[in-house]
């Protein structure tokens, strides 16, 4: 399953979700002391999109895919996570739908669509 997200007016990002796996949302601080990026391949890094000023925690939330459904879970972030304005309780799964308006702190992300691979 892939999820297409709108991060900024001209920026979309596609996440590839595997069954029973989590894809983290957070922010890196850019680079470590060796000049290497501090984000991971399994993280949607909101740092480049004003994440620090928007209150995005380093490890903020997680997308997961289970039994054909995509979920979002707040990972006890400092400034909270919202779906369509509803604040999520930490460590609980919330079902996502196309068009959902997501907020990580005050960083806004729109879930454009789900892309289901053809077999």
* Torsion from C-alpha of 90, 93, 99, 105, nearest 10 degrees: 10
Of the pLDDT bands very low, low, confident and very high (cuts 50, 70, 90), residue 93 is very high
- Write out pLDDT tens, residues 36-72: 444 455 689 999 999 999 999 999 999 999 988 999 9
pTM for the model:
0.86
For 70-75, what is the mean pLDDT? 97
Which of the 8 DSSP states describes residue 25?
A: E
Domains identified in the chain and CATH numbers: 2-113 (2.60.200.20)
Of 83, 66, 97, 72, the closest CA to residue 1 belongs to: 66
CB neighbours of 3 closer than 8 A, spacing ≥ 6?
A: 14, 15, 17, 63, 70, 96, 111, 113, 114, 115
């Amino acid at each position: 399953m892939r999820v297409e997200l709108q991060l900024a007016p001209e920026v979309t990002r596609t996440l590839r979700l595997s069954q029973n796996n989590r894809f983290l949302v957070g922010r890196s601080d850019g680079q470590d002391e060796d000049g290497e990026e501090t984000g991971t391949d399994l993280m949607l890094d909101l740092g480049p999109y004003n994440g620090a000023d928007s209150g995005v925690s380093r490890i903020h939330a997680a997308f997961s895919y289970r039994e054909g459904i995509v979920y979002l879970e707040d990972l006890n972030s400092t400034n909270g996570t919202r779906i369509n304005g509803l604040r999520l309780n930490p460590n609980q799964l919330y079902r996502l739908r196309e068009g959902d308006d997501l907020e990580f702190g005050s960083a806004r992300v729109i879930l454009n669509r789900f892309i289901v691979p053809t077999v």
